[in-house]
A and B are shown apart, each in its own frame.
Chain A
Amino acid sequence: MNSTKKKNYFLLLSAGVIVVLGISSCSGSTEQSVELPAQGLITTVTEVQPKEFKIEDETSIPDTSASLIIAKYLDGKVDTFTLAEARLMQQQGGNGGHSMAGPIMTAAGAGLLGYMLGRSMSRPPVPSAYTNQQTYNRVNQTTGSRFNTGSTKATRPSMNSSRSSRGFGGGRSSRGFGG
């Protein structure tokens, strides 16, 4: 499914622009939380009209970090985006980099992927975002039901330096610990 199109928005990614789920930080914060789905998602959108996409399928996967958007174009080509790239496209609003970013994100974000981009779990996907009613019904009753019941809290630790740390075990011998 690798695209023949060049992903020139990688340059923007390398500059360190990463969307953070729409959470605003406050000075001296201790804990901020947002409700997120507990699973990952593979969303397939298909171009039904020039620059207009609809959701063809949504499949849940165990690992949120492995989430993908697969975009199928009218000319038969296919693109694949990771969740990080999707968030970047959402922030960029389709400006700079990928000409189809806006329409792809509008379509994918109207489905279950929207939850992963910060939409409240109380606002379900709309049927008009899908290729047809049958697709909406199928996804809503399978993948959608798991998303609605399996949410988990993604919490950012305060990293108060005296009471949190990382880097333990670093630089140790590479011997195993299995007895």
Chain B
Amino acid sequence: MNRNALNWYQVGHNADYLASQCLELSAFEMREMLSTSDNLYGRLMEAARWVAENNLWEKVGVPSAAIPLLSYSIRQEADLHLLGRFDYAGGMDGFPLKLLEFNADTCSLLPETILMQPEMARRIQGTEVPASWQLYKQFVRQFRQLLEQHRDKEPTLLLSSLGYEEDVLNLEIVRKAALEAGFQIAQQVDLPNVIFSADEGIFVELRPDEFQRYDFWFKMVPWDFICHEEPDLLDLLTSIITGGHALVINPAFTMLLQSKALLVYLYENNPMHPAVLPASFTKAAFEQKSAYVEKPIIGRMGENIAIYDQHAQLLFENDGDYGDFPTIFQEKADINFDQRGRGYQPGVFWVQGACGIGIRRQEGLLLDDDAQFVTHTVVDRT
């Protein structure tokens, strides 16, 4: 990958982003993170299907206009879910591993995990990171499988974001994996330059009156953004997808998996699961019992979070772009802190199976855009 592109992670306000230390995970801790994630994916899918069967769309933040597409997607598109990242609390030094959320639709940290982490590990400790390369290989494997499963589709892939550099760099990893898997065309074009035709599919006008059609579209544009901000695009994509004119990755049902409201149904359906935090639509479930966190059902980057102690006293809150969405309440988890008061959040990548770990840390009670990426290595410890 272009070294100049990766410099984006190390200059300006990103200068401290890559931690200069290396975290050691035990092999047991790594296996727990991966196997727990595989298990939770199945549980989350069960919860998502339950929501669909019981028409709880509004509770999870799905507007009525999106119901036909979501209904179709959860039934038909399981094989198109190519990338997600589970974010956890704990999981190290005896702290129980607890799921905070599942970034099922659009997730980042690919360049850090696949490219920078092995390089940092070599520089800091002279060791290899076992799982990083597996993540990329799994991408290639799944893209190859998609081509096998959809032989009626041309091997043409369009990748789109709104052009924010971090999103572009993440998509570049995906693009290269697709080419390696056998896609004959794989191009990044920003969303405003993409043409959506309800009855014909997804196109880009490469030159005046010269069009390229793509049978696969990988988007770094969240479904919640499309549903709430671009209803006309939602309408076109519903026709394109249900009409079989193109395949969209990640598929629409990942909006369900990414909704924090699904964590409530996950807990209600799995109350004894060791990695599932109690979650509720009301704070009464926690008052006088435990500290809890209030978070919007649609949100990212740690925005619009409020943290309370067990007496409902506010400990922390921040603002953001997601303040208008309904909220859920989740038990506050035990986070691994170091001596400098930095809390650690392991992230486990899922590419049709758990593979690859990327860990972040930050001082304070939660992670936001200022978090650092911390390289890890895996050691056998008795």
Instruction: Please report A residues at the B interface, Cβ cutoff 8 Å.
Output: 16, 18, 20-21, 31, 38-39, 62-65, 84, 150, 152-160, 163-170, 172, 174-179
Which chain A residues lie closer than 8 Å to B229 at the CB level?
Answer: 172
> Can you list 25 A-B contacts with CB-CB less than 8 angstroms, sorted by A residue number?
A18-B210, A21-B210, A38-B156, A62-B179, A62-B185, A63-B187, A65-B207, A152-B184, A152-B185, A153-B213, A155-B213, A157-B197, A157-B200, A158-B200, A163-B198, A163-B236, A165-B196, A166-B195, A168-B230, A176-B108, A176-B167, A177-B161, A177-B225, A177-B300, A179-B258
Asked if A18 and B207 sit within 8 Å, CB to CB, the answer is yes
A64 to B207, CA, bound (A): 12
Asked if B195 and A164 sit within 8 Å, CB to CB, the answer is yes
Asked if B200 and A170 sit within 8 Å, CB to CB, the answer is no
Digitize B126-138: 1 where CB-to-A-CB distance is under 8 Å, 0 elsewhere: 0000000000000
With A150-B184, A169-B221 as contacts: A178 and B196 at CB distance below 8 Å: no
Q: Which of B182-213 contact A (CB under 8 A)?
A: 184-187, 190-201, 203, 206-213
Q: Which of B155-197 contact A (CB under 8 A)?
A: 155-156, 161-167, 170, 179, 184-187, 190-197
Asked if A177 and B195 sit within 8 Å, CB to CB, the answer is no
Which chain B residues lie closer than 8 Å to A164 at the CB level?
Answer: 195-198, 200, 236
- Does residue B232 face the partner (Cβ distance < 8 Å to A)? yes
Asked if A156 and B179 sit within 8 Å, CB to CB, the answer is no
- Does residue B29 face the partner (Cβ distance < 8 Å to A)? no
Within 8 Å by CB of A65, from B184, B200, B206, lies B206
Question: Nearest Cβ in chain B — how far from A78, in angstroms?
Answer: 25
Which chain A residues lie closer than 8 Å to B300 at the CB level?
Answer: 177, 179
Asked if A63 and B185 sit within 8 Å, CB to CB, the answer is yes
Asked if B197 and A158 sit within 8 Å, CB to CB, the answer is yes
Asked if A159 and B197 sit within 8 Å, CB to CB, the answer is yes
Within 8 Å by CB of B167, from A31, A64, A177, lies A177
A153 to B211, CA, bound (A): 10
Count residues of chain B with CB under 8 A from any CB of chain A: 57
A165 to B193, CA, bound (A): 10
Digitize B213-233: 1 where CB-to-A-CB distance is under 8 Å, 0 elsewhere: 100000011100100011011
Asked if B195 and A62 sit within 8 Å, CB to CB, the answer is no
Question: Nearest Cβ in chain B — how far from A68, in angstroms?
Answer: 15
Asked if B200 and A168 sit within 8 Å, CB to CB, the answer is no
Asked if B195 and A179 sit within 8 Å, CB to CB, the answer is no
Which chain A residues lie closer than 8 Å to B106 at the CB level?
Answer: 177-179
Question: Nearest Cβ in chain A — how far from B104, in angstroms?
Answer: 9
A63 to B154, CA, bound (A): 15
- Does residue B239 face the partner (Cβ distance < 8 Å to A)? yes
- Does residue B52 face the partner (Cβ distance < 8 Å to A)? no
Q: Which of B272-329 contact A (CB under 8 A)?
A: 300-301
Q: List the A residue with the shortest CB-CB distance to B167.
A: A176
- Does residue B85 face the partner (Cβ distance < 8 Å to A)? yes
With A153-B213, A159-B197 as contacts: A169 and B207 at CB distance below 8 Å: no
With A154-B212, A177-B225 as contacts: A38 and B185 at CB distance below 8 Å: yes
Within 8 Å by CB of A178, from B109, B179, B232, B233, lies B109
Q: List the B residue with the shortest CB-CB distance to A31.
A: B200
Best-surrounded residue of A16, A63, A175, A177 (most CB of chain B within 10 A): A177
Asked if B85 and A177 sit within 8 Å, CB to CB, the answer is no
Which chain A residues lie closer than 8 Å to B211 at the CB level?
Answer: 154-157
Q: List the A residue with the shortest CB-CB distance to B214.
A: A152
Which chain A residues lie closer than 8 Å to B184 at the CB level?
Answer: 38-39, 62, 150, 152
Which chain A residues lie closer than 8 Å to B201 at the CB level?
Answer: 155, 157
Asked if B197 and A163 sit within 8 Å, CB to CB, the answer is yes
- Does residue B117 face the partner (Cβ distance < 8 Å to A)? no
Question: Nearest Cβ in chain B — how far from A131, in angstroms?
Answer: 28
Q: List the B residue with the shortest CB-CB distance to A166.
A: B195
Which chain A residues lie closer than 8 Å to B85 at the CB level?
Answer: 179
A140 to B314, CA, bound (A): 73
A102 to B163, CA, bound (A): 41
Which chain B residues lie closer than 8 Å to A18 at the CB level?
Answer: 207-210
Asked if A175 and B196 sit within 8 Å, CB to CB, the answer is no
Which chain B residues lie closer than 8 Å to A39 at the CB level?
Answer: 184
Within 8 Å by CB of A177, from B109, B156, B193, B220, lies B220
Question: Nearest Cβ in chain B — how far from A96, in angstroms?
Answer: 20
